[in-house]
Amino acid sequence: MSQEVTEIQPNTIIGEDYDGWINLSAWRGFESRNGFYGSKDSEKESDGTIKTHIIGESADSAHVLSQAQFNAIKFLKKNSELVRDSLLNGLLSDYPNAKEIYEDFMPEINSVEDYKNNLGVAFLHIMDSEKEGYAYIGFELGCSWDNEHGVGVMMHKDRVVKIGLAEESLNHWNCYHDNGTAEQEQMKWEKVYEQM
């Protein structure tokens, strides 16, 4: 199995994309969602082990684990219950919207505890964007009400940035809009298109 991401030190060359894992005790007992596209892979509950994808930060001609990514991973490991509770409370606040979209497919959810038997984390995405010294982390969740698209939650530390389909968990623009770099990033992309 690949390396636990908590063991990687800042400025370690990891390439553009690095796949590892992390164990977060706060997610033990939720659904095990390690199948294709976040599908259930077992009737057993998750042991808290989550596949983790790191987007290496460009440094000269290499891609490394940045200090902000290291900080975010350490924060998540130390505060996994706080982050989980914030994420689940965000989903609970968004429940009326989800119920309107999914109608009868959406299970009855009255508390954050009700999510335990209806979803699980399929992937964590450690983004290369940061704010105040901490990288953003996207949670890609498999869920009982949308087996194809799942749920995506972009987080900064213990704050929910965006909730939507699974794709929101790896959407760089969620980070850019939140950290105030969207205009700068848009200008970069426009220059790239002009050169094509």
Burial of 33 (0-12, 13-18, 19+ CB in 10 A): buried
Secondary structure class of 111 (helix, strand, coil): coil
What local confidence, expressed as pLDDT, does residue 194 receive? 86
Q: How far is the C-alpha of 41 from the C-alpha of 142, rounded, in Å?
A: 11
What local confidence, expressed as pLDDT, does residue 10 receive? 96
CA 127 vs. chain centroid, Å, equals: 9
Residue of 168, 191, 165, 166 lying closest to 178 (CA atoms): 168
What local confidence, expressed as pLDDT, does residue 13 receive? 93
- The residue ranges of the chain whose pLDDT is under 70 are 1
Say what the pTM is: 0.93
What local confidence, expressed as pLDDT, does residue 43 receive? 85
Q: Are 50 and 24 in contact (CB under 8 A)?
A: yes
Secondary structure class of 131 (helix, strand, coil): strand
What local confidence, expressed as pLDDT, does residue 119 receive? 96
What local confidence, expressed as pLDDT, does residue 59 receive? 83
Q: Are 88 and 119 in contact (CB under 8 A)?
A: no
